[in-house]
Amino acid sequence: MVQLTPQATTDLLPIIDLGLYLQNPDSPEAIEECKRASDAIRDYGALIVKDPRVTEKENNDFIDMMEDYFDQPYDVKLKDSRPEYGYQVGVTPELTEDPKCPKDPHCTDIIDHIPEANRPLEFHGPDPKWRFFWRIGEQPPTTQFPRLNAEPVVPEAFKDVWAKTMDAWGNTLHKAVLGLAEMIAVGFGLPKKTFVDMAQYGPHLLAPTASDLNKYGKVGAVLAGFHYDLNFLTIHGKSRYPGLNIWPRNESEKLAVRVPDGCLLVQAGKQLEWLTGGVVQAGYHEVIVNEATARVIENKTNDRPLWRISSTFFLHIASDNVLRPLEGVFDTEEARLAKYPKIHTGDQVRKELGLISLLEK
């Protein structure tokens, strides 16, 4: 029988102190913390980062606004949808994104090798979650991939506060994940700006998901089926409702995400796996309604809309950069090069979006 609420939590993951690096990146303590960061992302595919610049107020303001936005009528939200851009800006309606895992033999093989008690919940068909993509960071001066670098969408009812609130939280997450990207590069023995430079002009996205717990609030509901992220690094703030489970490096143990105050969860994405030739593996995860989610719903005492909002940011390598194992560090095996051939990042993203039914290939 599949266990809905894992006994183990992300308390087991290393907590990386970004503050040490921000104070003095050349200090022995900071260098040691960088090594801990690269070891953690290699060994677990995930870690917890503590950033002294993060405030719970920004996260709460952001979640408040997203709850109010998604509580609007369906047709009002649909005006903010941009399917012609692969939903890479604006809103993605529920039952649109189709997890590729059931169609991917490699993914199904991973599930088959997980002990039954720790397997993800079975899921069929598209996810019932909504999503909103808001671009953070500089647009590229020129690009071969204009559909992946489209102009942002501002919802009409929130036009006076939307950009300010989204940018405040999005820029906080952006700075945190860029700092961590530097630390990981240093820990791997690379120049500290290796990943940061590759990510300049990337189509970075503040990407909250939203699940209507009035409709999908029963224990056992799958809000986002077992999957990995296609980008470089994903960083999350705290959600008000539990239910995110992760599998460190696709191993047998399932961890329930629990983010301490002032901290953020970071997961490796497919682009980082590509650049390291598989030394780092993209982390698999799911979002479900479990017993812990149900308890929070039952104990809710305020009148806020009953939507589960994820506080999520995707850091991307720039679309026009080439993905391949980094020369001289991760490209020593022919088999590795064959598995991770040269490809423009924009082509990698377009292929992945096609596989999850968001963009016609």
Which pair of tokens denotes residue 300?
Answer: 């809710």
Which pair of tokens denotes residue 239?
Answer: 């959600």
What whole-number distance in Å separates Cα of residue 350 and Cα of residue 126? 19
Q: Residue 358: its pLDDT value, please?
A: 59
Which pair of tokens denotes residue 262?
Answer: 């002032």
Q: Residue 2: its pLDDT value, please?
A: 58
Q: Residue 353: its pLDDT value, please?
A: 76
**Which domains, from first to last, does the chain contain?**
10-355 (2.60.120.330)
Q: Residue 199: its pLDDT value, please?
A: 98
> What one-letter code names the amino acid at 238?
K
Q: Residue 361: its pLDDT value, please?
A: 46
* Consecutive 10-residue averages of pLDDT for the chain (361 residues): 72 94 97 98 95 92 98 98 90 90 84 90 91 93 80 95 96 98 97 98 96 97 94 96 88 85 94 95 94 96 96 96 89 80 92 65 46
- Characterize 17-31 residue by residue with b for buried, 16 or more Cβ atoms within 10 angstroms of its Cβ, and e for exposed: bbebbbeebeeeebb
Helix (H, G, I), strand (E, B) or coil at 127: coil
CA angle 39, 288, 82 (to 5 degrees): 90
